[in-house]
Amino acid sequence: MHITFADESTFSLGENGTMALNELVYDPASGMGEAAFSVAKGVFVFVSGMIAKTTPDAMVVNTPTTTIGVRGTKVAGEVDAEGGETVVTLLREDDGQTGEIVLINDGGVRVINQAFQTVRVESFAEAPSLPELISEADLKALYGDDIEALIEGPRGDGEDDHAEIDGVRGVRDRGWTHPRPPGHRCRQCLPRGRIACARMGFPARRRTGRPGRGSH
C-alpha cells in the first residue's frame, strides 16, 4: 500500500501490515499543520512532507513501543507483531540529504540523524537502543525483500487502485486494512504537548477545529 497525503508526505506499508491515520491538519498556504499515524504491525516506509519541514515535531508515527517524531526525513521501520519490537532505520532522502528523527517512550529519548542508523525498541517501558550503523545492503536482510518497492514508493504508472481516505487522496493495494488503533496513551505525546499527540484510540479523521475526545 502506498498513500500520498495533502502535504506531499508518503506512507508505504508492506503486506499484512496495519496502520491508521489518527490526525491530519494541513494549511497549504503556510505549509504548517499536524499529523499523526500509528502502525500496529508490519514493514513501513515514511517520507515526510511540508508539515515536518515547516513545523518540527508536529508529525509523529506511533508504534506499540515508541513514538517517532519526524523532522523532515525518510524512515524505514518494522513492528514485529502487535505489541512487539519496533525497529527503525533513518534513510537518506532522494536529494541526498539526511534529516532527523526522535524516538520517545517511558524509558527515554533517542535522537538519530545519520543515514542508516538503526534503533530497536522492545517495549514502551524500555529506552530505545543505542543506534547501530548498518549498510544499505543490510536493509533487505533486516526488512525483507519488499523493502526496495516500499522505499521506491508509488509507481505513478496508473496500476494501483486509488482511494479517498478521510478526504485525502491516496493509493491502495490489496490487503489494506484501517483498524481502530490501540488505547489512547497520552504519555506518548512529545514535549510540545497536545499538538503532537496521536490521539490513539479514536478512528482516523480530519479534525474540524474543535478539540476531540482525549484532548489535553
Whether the CB-CB separation of 202 and 184 falls below 8 Å is answered with yes
Three-class SS state of 164: strand
Assess whether pLDDT exceeds 80 at residue 210.
no
Domain borders along the chain are 2-196
Which of 8, 12, 33 minimizes the C-alpha distance to 23?
33
Q: What is the pLDDT of residue 46?
A: 93
Percentage above 70 pLDDT, the chain:
69
Give the span between the Cα atoms of 52 and 64, in whole angstroms.
22
pLDDT digits over 51-77, tens only? 988 877 789 999 999 999 998 889 999
**How does DSSP assign 56-93, residue by residue?**
TTSEEEE-SS-EEEEES-EEEEEE-STT--EEEEEE--
CATH class of 2-196: mainly beta
**Which tens digits make up the pLDDT trace of 98-156?**
999 999 999 999 999 999 999 999 999 999 999 999 998 899 999 998 899 999 876 55
